Amino acid sequence: QSALTQPASVSGSPGQSITISCTGTSSYVGGYHYVSWYQQHPGKAPKLMIYDVSKRPSGVSNRFSGSKSGNTASLTISGLQAEDEADYYCSSYTSGSTYVFGPGTKVTVL
């Protein structure tokens, strides 16, 4: 059982915005500004979408944004597109160079 909690699934229509939450504790998420989000399409390797809560790597669409409030981090996808249909995982870095992943959220584009 993961130390982070994510909704199992989130869905939206093309063009809409959706938000995926990632809830932890002060040891994970709350105490550090080191939350990352990864996108994974079936049979593919994960791809970094957001790091350090709200920073976007070069090449990632600005439709993806991240935020955090207390022990909950969030990933928002704006202008939802068919290609956004995938699994999304939050991850938190903690002291001692250990990492934890959330259970993942399946995003469905209706």
Partner 1 sequence: QVQLVESGGGVVQPGRPLRLSCAASGFTLSSYAMYWVRQAPGKGLEWVAFISFDGSNKYYADSVKGRFTISRDNSKNTVYLQMNSLRSEDTAVYYCARIVGTTRADHWGQGTLVSVSS
User: Closest separation between CB of residue 36 and partner 1, Å?
Assistant: 4
- Quote the DSSP letter at residue 33: S
* CA separation for the pair 103, 87 (Å, rounded): 10
> For residue 32, what is the enclosing H or E element?
none
Per-residue x/- mask for partner 1, residues 9 to 38, rule CB under 8 A? Answer: -------------------------x-x-x
Range 47-86, binding partner 1 (CB under 8 A): 47-48, 51-52, 57
Residue 106 in the binding site for partner 1 (CB under 8 A): no
Q: Given the rule CB under 8 A, which of 11-19, 20-28, 69-77, 92-100 is the region that contacts partner 1?
A: 92-100
Of 15, 36, 27, 26, give the one whose Cα is nearest residue 82: 15
Compute the C-alpha angle 56/104/50, nearest 5°. 5
Residue 15 or 41 having the CB closest to partner 1: 41
Cβ proximity of 104 and 89 under 8 Å: yes
Which residues of this protein are in contact with partner 1, per CB under 8 A?
A: 2, 34, 36, 38, 40, 45-48, 51-52, 57, 87, 89, 91, 93, 96-104
